A and B are shown apart, each in its own frame.
Chain A
């Protein structure tokens, strides 16, 4: 059987379904605030490299991490490519392969341990009545941990490798 191409892998994932509709018009790049600021990032180029099967260049490079998920491109793409979501799908693949930028370990640990991406300090909690705020309700950490183990999310961090 023929090996699955990179764009097929992406297309089969949640978020990646629309990647093959791209006809390389560049509307995304001209709508992108990050591409305006740096030549290190260009959404059209990312889609192109994915479609050309340049898997290593995409997964080892830092560019996929520079999208700020603003969805400007996605609103304007004439082909209805869900570009920001495609980039999530590609990031999800990179992370499964252990290519995790440092900051994502922080997010990962915070979610897994506290059920929150930003921890609410004891100090902030204690100050609430004084400020006139009701007490914080308990966080659903147990339910969240069940979800993480069902989807396998809790194992993603085991392989650590820094992207270039």
Chain B
């Protein structure tokens, strides 16, 4: 049986049970075992890196050490966690001097980074480890009538040199995985541009502007819903639509679902087991199309 240490991060357990439930249930259906390791912490995403990069790298590395001790690769759901951890992992693996510097800090916690494990994105586990064939064989409710706008966000793809998920200018992994579920992947303008999520709290106007751009482009494409990977993109586009409604008097009503939720539904997991009320923009019409 394939096993991974799951890295939940902060936002998912705090606010998005829809993400965690759909990912856990889908992976378990696909024969993957997830191990919950004690004493993990925040991954130290961009806001913490902005305070101090070195501290952030040390904390990310500390979390990787826990996976090394358990002899498991890390599986991440949140793109922020994926970026912070995969970046730290690859930087330290390829820079002996940096590794020594960080290990000096980690010594205070009794840990040492060795560089023996991988940090994997949920999508990589699906495509590379489980495999598209295996995935396809388990689909019981193909997403035949669904037009889906894939949204990568930023931190699953970039910086690509360190993350190595896919080509940063022409990625295909999410489109491929949507098609594997039987869905139609829809192209739209500025697909790879940021949702503005990280500007929330710094400049709410700018953040909402960027989210609105995304929604306009998706809505022009005729897609039924957006598939996201990251809890911050989810908030920017789902709750963002409520804020855009009051600020601009514009109603988009585009359901936003994590890819994992589409996967879970296609695997035949009952919608009521997936905390559907987490969504501010209701997803009933998507569920009805699938069932």
Using CB atoms and an 8 Å cutoff, list the residues of chain A in contact with chain B.
13-15, 33-34, 37-38, 65-66, 68-72, 74-75, 82, 84-85, 88-89, 91-92, 95, 101, 103-104, 106-108, 111, 115-121, 124-125, 127-128, 131-134, 136-141, 143-144, 146-148, 150-151, 153, 156
Contact = CB atoms under 8 A, between A and B. Distances in A.
A141 B207 CA distance: 31
Contacts of B210: 33-34, 37, 68
Contact of A115 (B41, B66, B159): B41
A86 to B, nearest CB: 11
Nearest to B107: A150
Interface string B86-120: 00000000000000000001101101000000000
Interface stretch (B45-53, B136-144, B256-264, B281-289): B45-53
B42 A116 contact: yes
Contacts of A74: 158-159
B108 A68 contact: no
Secondary structure at the B interface, as helix, strand, loop or mixed, is helix
A62 B63 CA distance: 33
Contacts of A82: 159
A120 B47 contact: no
Contacts of B203: 66
Interface of B: 8, 10-11, 13-15, 17, 20-21, 24, 36-42, 44-55, 57-59, 62, 66, 105-106, 108-109, 111, 154-155, 158-160, 168-169, 192-194, 196-199, 201-203, 206-207, 209-210, 273, 275
Nearest to B91: A14
Contacts of A75: 158-160, 168-169
14 contacts: A69-B49, A69-B155, A69-B198, A84-B159, A88-B46, A92-B50, A116-B10, A117-B48, A118-B15, A131-B275, A138-B39, A140-B40, A143-B109, A156-B52
A115 B106 CA distance: 16
A33 B38 CA distance: 39
Given A95-B51, A117-B48, A151-B52, 18 more contacts: A14-B57, A66-B202, A69-B46, A69-B49, A71-B155, A72-B194, A75-B158, A82-B159, A103-B47, A107-B51, A117-B42, A133-B21, A136-B13, A138-B38, A140-B62, A143-B39, A144-B41, A144-B42
Listed from nearest, the 10 A-B pairs whose CB atoms lie closest are A140-B39, A71-B158, A70-B194, A118-B10, A69-B46, A143-B109, A116-B10, A70-B154, A153-B55, A115-B41
